[in-house]
Chains A and B, each alone.
Chain A
C-alpha cells in the first residue's frame, strides 16, 4: 500500500521549502528531537529504543551459538533483520518482508559490517565449527519518517549495550565493539537538501541519500533511494551535511 499526500498539502510543503522553511518549523539541517535509551529489554543481550520525533524503533541484540560460513570459518556471524510491524503504520501489512523492510535491514547491516563495528574475528568458539552469531532485530513501532537513521542509531546503541552472555563458551572480557557508525539520510525535495525527513516530507521527496560515516568522517556505506536523481554537486553537499550531523548523533550514543 502506498502513502498518499493531498495535493494542497504537497503544494504548501513545497512553497514553504522554497523559502527554506519546513512545516514543523525546523531548519533544513535540523533533526527532530531525538531520544535514545539503552538497555530497555532485559531478555536481550543488548538493546536500545530510539525516537526521532514520533518515529519509534526498538532494537534487540541476541547472541547465540551457530555455525560459521564456510568462507570465513573463524569469524562470528552478523544477521540484521527489520520488521515493519503493522502496528507502526496503516500502510504496513502482515506477511513476508517487503522490499522496503529488506532495504532498511540491508542498509543498516552494511553500515555495521563494513565499518567493522563488531570484531567478528574474535567471535569464534571452535574455528570452523562453532562461532557466536550476533542477531540484530529491529522492530519499527511507529513510522513517522526517516526509519533508516532511527534504526541505524538504535542498532549502534544496542551493540554498545551488549553484555556478554552467561555461558562457559564466552571467553572475552567484553563484547568486542570498536566503532560508532551513524547513518544520516539527506532528502532532496524540489532541489533543496534537508536532513531527517518526516513522513510527509518523504512522501513528496524526489530522492534520498543515506550516508553512514564513522568517527573520523570516512564513509562506510551509502544508499540512494527514491524515484529521481542527485547531481554531483548535491552528492557532495549531502556528504557535508551527513558529516556535520553524524557528529551530533554520535554524541547521543554516550
Chain B
C-alpha cells in the first residue's frame, strides 16, 4: 500500500471512523477445547487467540518460586499473519511484547495463591492489523477468567496515537505505519489502574494527557465487550 496523502479526510479516517471511535470488536470466551481457559478476539481486522494453561506444576522445577506462582506469557505471530511472511519463532519485538503483556496482566492476578505453580498464557496472532498486543491482552484477560483463575479485575487495552495531528484511538495498520505516534495502554478498569503504558513518536504534554484520557475511555468500552463475552458463556439462562 502506498502512503495516502491524508490519513484523515473531513474528520473521517480511512475506514470511515471518527477519531475517538473503536473498530468493531468481537470476543468469544472459551474458543479452544484443550486449554484451561481461552478466548478469541477480533478488533477490526486483527484476529488473535489466547489460551491459558494452569495453575499447573512448573517445569523446569528450579524455576518454581516458593511463595507465589510464576506467570509466563508468550506472544507469537503466525507466519501468515502479516503482509510479508514472518519467520516463525520469537524475535526481539515479540520477546519484548511478551514481557510487557505479562506485566500488564500480572497486577490482576493473585499469584500468591499458587506457590510453586506456573500459569502459562499463550497468545497467537492469526491476522494482524496494528494493535495486536492490545488485542492479545484483551483476549488473554478473558482467557484467564475463563480458566477460573481469581482476578482483581479484567485487563482491557487499546492503543491511542497521533495521525495527521489528530489524536485517534485504536490505530489500524496504515495509521500505525504513517502516523506520528503510537501509545498502547492497558488498565484494570474498576480501579483505573494503568498496567501497560508504552509510547513512541511525539506528544506534547497536553496531547499526552488527552490521549491518555481517550485510551482510558476506550478501555472502558472494551471492558464491556469482555464482560459480555464472559456472560454469554457463563450466564445461566442466556445473557442479561
Contact B193 A222 (CB under 8 A): no
Binds A, one of B49-57, B100-108, B128-136, B224-232: B100-108
Bound complex: CA A132 to CA B208 (Å): 34
- Name B195's contact: one of A103, A221, A229, A243 (CB within 8 Å): A229
Check A165 for interface membership: any CB of B closer than 8 A.
Answer: no
Q: List 13 A-B contacts (CB under 8 A).
A: A99-B99, A103-B100, A105-B92, A221-B200, A224-B103, A224-B194, A224-B196, A226-B103, A229-B107, A230-B193, A231-B193, A232-B192, A235-B197
- Name A99's contact: one of B95, B183, B188 (CB within 8 Å): B95
Q: Which residues of A contact B194 (CB under 8 A)?
A: 224, 229-232, 235
Contacts of B191-215 to chain A: CB distance below 8 A: 191-205, 208-209, 212
Bound complex: CA A110 to CA B49 (Å): 28
Task: Mark A115-155 against chain B: 1 for CB-CB distance below 8 A, else 0.
Answer: 10000000000000000000000000000000000000000
Nearest CB of chain B from residue A120's CB, rounded to whole Å: 15
The residue in chain A whose Cβ has the minimal distance to the Cβ of B92 is: A102
Bound complex: CA A217 to CA B207 (Å): 12
User: Could you tell me which A residues sit within 8 Å of B by CB distance?
Assistant: 97, 99, 102-103, 105-106, 110, 113-115, 207, 209, 217-232, 235-236, 239, 243
Bound complex: CA A217 to CA B93 (Å): 27
Bound complex: CA A106 to CA B199 (Å): 12
- Name B98's contact: one of A99, A110, A224 (CB within 8 Å): A99
Contact A219 B208 (CB under 8 A): yes
Q: Which residues of B contact A103 (CB under 8 A)?
A: 96, 99-100
Bound complex: CA A236 to CA B197 (Å): 12
The residue in chain B whose Cβ has the minimal distance to the Cβ of A115 is: B202
- Name A236's contact: one of B95, B199, B209 (CB within 8 Å): B209
Query: Which of A103, A224, A227 is packed against the most chain B CB atoms within 10 Å?
Result: A224
Contact A218 B96 (CB under 8 A): no
- Name B100's contact: one of A220, A224, A230, A236 (CB within 8 Å): A224
Bound complex: CA A236 to CA B216 (Å): 14
Contact A110 B192 (CB under 8 A): no
Bound complex: CA A106 to CA B98 (Å): 14
Contact B103 A227 (CB under 8 A): yes
Q: Which residues of A contact B200 (CB under 8 A)?
A: 110, 113-114, 220-222
Contact A222:B197 (CB < 8 A) given known A103-B96, A106-B96, A232-B192 = yes
Nearest CB of chain A from residue B3's CB, rounded to whole Å: 10
Query: Which of B98, B195, B209 is packed against the most chain A CB atoms within 10 Å?
Result: B195
Contacts of B140-190 to chain A: CB distance below 8 A: 183, 187-188
Nearest CB of chain A from residue B92's CB, rounded to whole Å: 5
The residue in chain B whose Cβ has the minimal distance to the Cβ of A218 is: B204
Contact A232 B92 (CB under 8 A): no
Q: Which residues of B contact A99 (CB under 8 A)?
A: 95-96, 98-99
Q: Which residues of B contact A227 (CB under 8 A)?
A: 103, 106-107
Bound complex: CA A113 to CA B180 (Å): 12
Nearest CB of chain A from residue B95's CB, rounded to whole Å: 5
The 9 closest A-B pairs by CB, nearest first: A222-B199, A229-B193, A224-B197, A110-B200, A114-B200, A229-B195, A99-B99, A227-B106, A229-B107
Bound complex: CA A102 to CA B193 (Å): 26
Nearest CB of chain B from residue A109's CB, rounded to whole Å: 9
The residue in chain A whose Cβ has the minimal distance to the Cβ of B65 is: A2
- Name A225's contact: one of B98, B100, B202, B203 (CB within 8 Å): B100
- Name A219's contact: one of B96, B107, B203 (CB within 8 Å): B203
Contact A102:B95 (CB < 8 A) given known A221-B199, A231-B192, A235-B197 = yes
Contact A218 B203 (CB under 8 A): yes
Bound complex: CA A232 to CA B192 (Å): 7
Query: Which of B187, B191, B198 is packed against the most chain A CB atoms within 10 Å?
Result: B198
Contact A235 B201 (CB under 8 A): no
Contact A222 B183 (CB under 8 A): yes
Nearest CB of chain B from residue A246's CB, rounded to whole Å: 13
Nearest CB of chain B from residue A209's CB, rounded to whole Å: 7
The residue in chain B whose Cβ has the minimal distance to the Cβ of A238 is: B197
Nearest CB of chain A from residue B210's CB, rounded to whole Å: 12
Q: Which residues of A contact B208 (CB under 8 A)?
A: 219, 239
The residue in chain B whose Cβ has the minimal distance to the Cβ of A98 is: B95
Bound complex: CA A236 to CA B193 (Å): 13
Contact A220:B205 (CB < 8 A) given known A225-B100, A227-B106, A229-B193 = no
Q: Which residues of B contact A239 (CB under 8 A)?
A: 205, 208
